[in-house]
């Protein structure tokens, strides 16, 4: 892939870092080639003054079609876990590390099959996430999965080794360190539905979210 196809989102991120300004500018982004096949950009939603931000990997098939993050099958798992942890979804800001849906070209014409974003996609899209952090200024960010953790921390993250405790990440534009709690992505739990290990995995996910709530006081 030629570098000119991934110039980076910084060329499209506006100087004014408010959630409304960012959301208005995001549809024009051509920071990587994923915009070509995606239906639309899927930007973050939620309270612009949230103390807690949840960051996933990328939009899924349904999110891409409807233009809103966390509304597919994994979202039901997330909603159940937030409820069990005593966190109101209306009080958090939800977004993804990558704003366009990456899917297998072979799946076009039927339900499109998710493909994990490449590191180049994560890096190209990172300026949007950095701007969202600057706009919302959450006290804590929960990284849902390895892609989100890599975008937030700037390095490879092993979920099993680092989940459940607060890690100090890079400084925001305001100069404050980003505090990140790493956990699994709810889509990983979906694969356990109807199989052994579901209860334990869900309880561990809830425990991580409870740790996030405790950190906020």
In order along its 217 residues, the chain shows pLDDT tens digits of: 447 789 999 999 999 999 999 999 999 999 999 999 999 999 999 999 999 999 999 999 999 999 999 998 899 999 999 999 999 999 999 999 999 999 987 765 567 888 999 999 999 999 999 999 999 999 999 999 999 999 999 999 999 999 999 999 888 777 778 999 999 999 999 988 878 899 999 999 999 999 999 999 8
Rounded to whole angstroms, the Cα distance separating 92 from 134 reads 15
Rounded to whole angstroms, the Cα distance separating 45 from 68 reads 7
Rounded to whole angstroms, the Cα distance separating 101 from 35 reads 8
Query: Cα-atom radius of gyration of the chain, to the nearest Å?
Result: 16
93 touches 136 (CB < 8 A): yes
What DSSP designation does 21 have?
H
137 touches 96 (CB < 8 A): no
For tokens 């297998």, the residue is 104
Name the strand (E) or helix (H) holding 174: none
Which phi and psi (to 5°) does residue 67 adopt? Answer: 80, 20
DSSP state string for 38-73:
SSS----EE-TT-SEEEEES---HHHHHHT-SS-SH
Domains of the chain by start residue, with CATH:
3-216 (3.40.470.10)
């Amino acid at each position: 892939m030629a570098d000119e196809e991934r110039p980076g989102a910084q060329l499209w991120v506006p100087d004014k870092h408010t959630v409304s300004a960012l959301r208005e500018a995001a549809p024009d982004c051509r920071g990587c080639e994923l915009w070509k096949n995606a239906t639309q950009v899927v930007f973050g939603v939620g309270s612009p003054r949230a103390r807690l931000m949840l960051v996933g990997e990328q939009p899924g098939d349904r999110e891409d079609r409807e233009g809103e993050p966390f509304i597919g099958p994994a979202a039901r798992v997330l909603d159940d876990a937030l409820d069990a942890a005593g966190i109101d979804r209306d009080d958090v800001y939800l977004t993804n590390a990558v704003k366009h849906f990456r899917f297998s070209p072979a799946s076009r014409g039927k339900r499109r099959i998710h493909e994990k974003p490449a590191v180049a996609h994560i890096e190209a899209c990172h300026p949007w996430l950095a701007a969202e952090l600057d706009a919302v200024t959450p006290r804590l960010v929960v990284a849902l999965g390895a892609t989100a953790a890599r975008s937030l921390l700037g390095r490879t993250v092993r979920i099993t080794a680092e989940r459940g405790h607060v890690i100090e990440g890079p400084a925001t534009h305001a100069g404050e360190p980003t505090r990140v709690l790493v956990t699994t992505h709810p889509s990983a739990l979906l694969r356990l539905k109807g199989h052994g290990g579901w209860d334990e995995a869900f309880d561990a996910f809830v425990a991580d979210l409870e740790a996030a709530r405790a950190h906020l006081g």
